[in-house]
A = this chain, B = another copy of it.
């Protein structure tokens, strides 16, 4: 089981994201560019140890817990890192961190990162897991930030 992607989503994607995330053929007028940003640090933890991990990281970083509704494997550490989601995730694997990149065009961002040398590992729901040159896992996920944060800090790619 490779559940490593997708920071918990506090609200549904905006209409703007839904439109921009369409295929290039369907939305050729807006698909020439897309945007992305580093959005999350995931603390992937063996399920048997996730409670102690959550307790530790909440206290270590002075954060508050936010269990994601309907996605019980995620506990966000609210207030841990301004501008980034920091999340403990229960996994059926060894302890690791991974990073999430959010984007308003999943297919374009995945294609961009693959062109830069990343390899596609798997897809889970609307998140893509890649392995970067050098060996690190990262995920490409839909926009999770509020629109102001995303607009002000995302990079634009053409």
Contacts and interface: CB of A to CB of B under 8 A. Distances in A.
Interface of A: 38, 41, 43, 45-46, 49-50, 52-53, 55-57, 59-62, 80-84, 86, 88, 94-99, 101, 113, 116-118, 132-136, 138, 153, 155
A46 B132 CA distance: 13
A49 B52 CA distance: 34
Given A56-B118, A155-B62, A136 B50 contact: no
B38 A80 contact: yes
A135 B97 contact: no
How many identical subunits does the complex contain?
Answer: 2
Enumerate the 6 nearest inter-chain pairs by beta-carbon distance, A residue then B residue, closest first: A53-B134, A95-B135, A62-B155, A97-B97, A52-B133, A45-B134
B56 A99 contact: no
The secondary structure that dominates the A interface is: mixed
Contacts of A97: 96-99, 136
A49 B133 contact: yes
A133 B55 contact: yes
A21 B38 CA distance: 32
Contact of A81 (B38, B95, B117, B132): B38
B155 A56 contact: no
A14 to B, nearest CB: 21
